[in-house]
A and B are shown apart, each in its own frame.
Chain A
Amino acid sequence: MSQDDTPVLSVEDLRVHFHGDGPVSLAVDGIDITIHRRETVCIVGESGCGKTITALTIMGLLPQPPGKIAGGRIFFKGQSLLDLPEEALRKLRGRHIAMIFQEPMSSLNPVFTIGNQINEAILAHETLSEDEALQRTLQLLQDVGIPDPQKRRHAYPHQLSGGQRQRAMIAMALACGPDLIIADEPTTALDVTVQAQILKLLQGLQQKRQMAIQYITHDLGVVAAIADRVYVMYAGLIVEQGTTSHIFSSPRHPYTRALLDSLPGKEKRGQRLYSIPGNVPHPAYKPTGCPFHPRCQHRQPKCARFFPTLCDYGEGHRARCPILYESEGTVGGRCEWKNL
């Protein structure tokens, strides 16, 4: 099928601004993301880098105002999402694109049983008989590893553990067999052992159902475990993108390197950890030029005056830093400074 070549999701030069009392916050400042079928793509970044805003915008859930899509396009299987009327978007959302949130307790309705809520998700998009919907619900609960679905579907969210709740959320997201799942920090609130179970579950489901997963996290350990490709975000920009081994074995952006260097571990015992000086900039008060330059150990005077473009290192590995590009070279490609 030629469908296979069309990316499931492609985001082009997306810009999201927030208007408040002060200056405009450039939360997402021109990002490009492509996700293909069966692919797990991680968006990594610290709080305030714009990763959740990107996800909400893709889902059409950006609160407007104060948010405003200031530019760019989003395509889902070739269909432009930003041009769709709300009604059509609602049909797509939940059915073809589903989202899993960080805190399952606050995204599940406390007064309905989980079986009830999954059932509702199915019937919202498909015309099935009560019995067919029930069978689907039981199958979904079984797929996500909730023991004894016949009994557990009558459980209310508060009767489930954190991990079970997240499993119920995943079952709901899978209800109509989506092509794309956007998972926003789904394991951050969970214990490490439960986190490993949920990650394994997502991987298994992905293989079985051929879904694409966009996984948003700040945890590089999780990224290393599940990602096929990685986008590193900083201050509303993609600063580096590549396969997981590109990012972890040969990172080309000073920010990615600094993040990896600052991770503690037993092999670093006795050494001092590299710590990135300063703080993540507020999206309304970003430094001029490269947004990372005030915290960067490779910075040069021109970093404050010019905006770096994505430098191509081949095989889809790109990093937004001409300084390292010039000193370390690459395979063909080009890299330049953009005059402000």
Chain B
Amino acid sequence: MEKSLTTGKPLLTVRNLKKHFAVRRGFFQRADTGVRAVDGVDLDILPHQTMGLVGESGCGKSTVARLILRLLYPDAGRICFDGQEITDLNERAFKPLRKKIQMIFQDPYSSLNPRMTVAQSIAEGVRISGITAKTDQRRRIERLLDMVGMPSASADRYPHEFSGGQRQRVGIARALSVSPRLILCDEPISALDVSIQAQIINLLKDLQDELGLSYLFISHDLNVVSYICDHVCVMYRGRIMESAPATALFDNPRHPYTLKLLSATAPLKEEFRTVSDVVASEAPGGELSETAYAEGTTMVEVEAGHWVRTQR
């Protein structure tokens, strides 16, 4: 069932977010040309909603997640979480909010400390969330493991004893340990086997229903995004090209770059069984740069909630 996309106040609002990285070039390593990793991004994530952020590698989608978590500081723009502006908060003032925003990573092998047992990894979050008594902590850890479908016996084992899918479950349990409201999922299933991907997708959906979580779901896999996301933003070279409810975006894509991404995703149905004619230019979307992407473009609402970047 489609969740309502228009009602309710956004949990997270991002306005005109910018992050430029200096690139050092030449013999003297002068910082000259900047890479505009994120170049004016707007996002609204509603409670209980999954917002998809898609694009090719290097388009800035992971940088957006890092900016929201304040692992990086933006050059410009505002980020509001639950009505409170967090862009200018100092570290101490942001600390209670960090519990509300958590992240799960692509690679479950490198995002868990190999020297900590599962219980120790999760216990850090449990402690921070204010549970002090050891027995209560243990109970909470076992409850969290149960929520992600892991037996409580796994608590005292080390990450290397688990498969990729199980490690990703541990990563999710760790993120849940501080009772977050928003989870940033950065390619959470791309490193997993096909048969395990569906398990993790189902788990994420179940947890959303149970706990009322919001997700920012970063992925380049359009099949997954079309399945799990309520709203999707297509990102290209640091900017949003198209933003629409998932059904509208996949049934009626408007931006040429979205079309290009969709046509590059091989469909399983036999009647479409040819590799679509993706333009041969090697630079992603090179031929789009002049018209659809360049300076002087703006987002226009073509239908309710369906925004497309077009020439002014």
Contacts and interface: CB of A to CB of B under 8 A. Distances in A.
Nearest to A147: B282
Interface in A145-202: 145, 147, 161, 163-164, 191-197, 199-200
Contacts of A129: none
Contact of B198 (A197, A224, A226, A274): A274
Interface string A226-251: 10000000000000000011001100
Contacts of A259: 194-195
A50 to B, nearest CB: 14
B224 to A, nearest CB: 5
The SS class assigned to the A binding surface is helix
B29 interface: no
B274 A269 contact: no
B193 A280 contact: yes
A208 interface: no
Contacts of B226: 264-266, 269
Interface in B172-205: 193-199, 201-202, 205
A258 to B, nearest CB: 7
A275 B194 contact: no
A312 B274 CA distance: 28
A281 to B, nearest CB: 11
B266 A224 contact: yes
B193 to A, nearest CB: 4
B223 A218 contact: no
Contacts of B163: 279-280
A276 B227 CA distance: 18
Contacts of B260: 193
A276 B260 CA distance: 32
B265 A226 contact: no
B228 A266 contact: no
A275 B266 contact: no
B202 A270 contact: no
B264 A196 contact: yes
B154 to A, nearest CB: 13
Nearest to A48: B193
Contacts of B273: 224-225, 244
A274 B220 CA distance: 22
Interface in B266-298: 266-270, 273-278, 280, 282, 284-285
B278 A197 contact: yes
A46 B222 CA distance: 20
Contacts, number: 137
A46 B194 contact: yes
Contact of A248 (B2, B195, B270): B270
A56 interface: no
A275 B56 contact: no
Interface in B237-256: 246-247, 250-251
A98 to B, nearest CB: 21
Contacts of A220: 194, 268
B194 to A, nearest CB: 6
B220 A192 contact: yes
A272 interface: yes
Contacts of A225: 266, 273-275
Contacts of B84: none
A142 interface: no
A248 B268 contact: yes
Nearest to A258: B195
Interface string A197-226: 101100100000000000000111110111
A164 B282 contact: yes
A249 B282 contact: no
B25 to A, nearest CB: 14
Nearest to A224: B268
A219 B264 CA distance: 14
12 contacts: A163-B282, A193-B261, A196-B264, A197-B278, A200-B275, A225-B274, A248-B270, A263-B198, A263-B268, A264-B197, A266-B251, A277-B199
The 7 lowest CB-CB distance pairs between A and B, nearest first, are A264-B227, A262-B198, A266-B226, A225-B266, A275-B198, A196-B264, A221-B266
Interface of A: 46-47, 145, 147, 161, 163-164, 191-197, 199-200, 203, 218-222, 224-226, 244-245, 248-249, 258-260, 262-266, 268-270, 272-277, 279-280, 295
Given A193-B260, A273-B198, 10 more contacts: A192-B222, A192-B265, A193-B261, A195-B264, A200-B275, A225-B274, A248-B270, A269-B226, A273-B202, A274-B198
